[in-house]
Structure 1
Amino acid sequence: MSDKPIQRVGDALERYLEKSGLTDRLAQASVIEEWPRLVGERIARVCQPESVSQDGTLFVKVSSGAWMQELQLMTPEILERLRAEGKKINRIMWRAA
C-alpha cells in the first residue's frame, strides 16, 4: 500500500483544474451562460456574448450600432461587474450583429 494520504476526488479535481489553468477558462466560459444575470435583463436583451478567447477577451454581438456605442461607454462598469463575480474577463469586444 502507498503511504500517500487518501484524497477526496473533488479536492484532487480542483487542484488539477487550477494547475492546468482550466479553472480560469471555466470561469470565463460561464459568462456566456450567466450573461443576463451578470449584466441585467435590459442589456442582455440587446446583446449576446459569443465567445471568450484564452487571453480573457469577451466577444459580444450587439443588436444595433446605437446600442454598441452605448455599451462601449459602459464597458468599464460591465467589466467591474464581471470581475466582482469572479469572471476572468480582461476586455470586451463589441460587434454589430
Structure 2
Amino acid sequence: MSASIPEVSIDQVPADAVLLDVREDDEWAAGRAPGAVHVPMTQLAERLDDIPDGNPVYVICRSGGRSARATAYLNQQGWDVVNVAGGMGGWARSGRPMEADGDAVPEVI
C-alpha cells in the first residue's frame, strides 16, 4: 500500500466518526456499522454526491483493500478521507457495534 494513503486502525476511529462503507449490497445487508453511509465502490464515481460530509470521512470495506483504493480516489477528487485498516472484519473482532438488515444477527461476509 502506498504511504500516501491516510490510514487509521479500528481503535483510532472515533465513536462519532462519519463512516463510508464501500462494500457490495450483500455485505452491507449482512452487517455494518450503525450510521454508516453505503456507497459500493463500483458506484463511487457516479455517486460522488452521496459521499457524506465529514472531516475526515472514514472509509471502510471488509478488510481494508477496497477502502484503500476508494480513499486514494476520493482524496484525488478533493475529499478529506481516511482508510480504516482491518475493515469490518477488524471492526467486528474489536467488539464495535454492528447492525444488519431485518432481525438477522450482524456478521461480516
TM-score, with length taken from structure 2: 0.29
Greater relative contact order structure (CA < 8 Å, 6+ sep): 2
More helix by share: 1
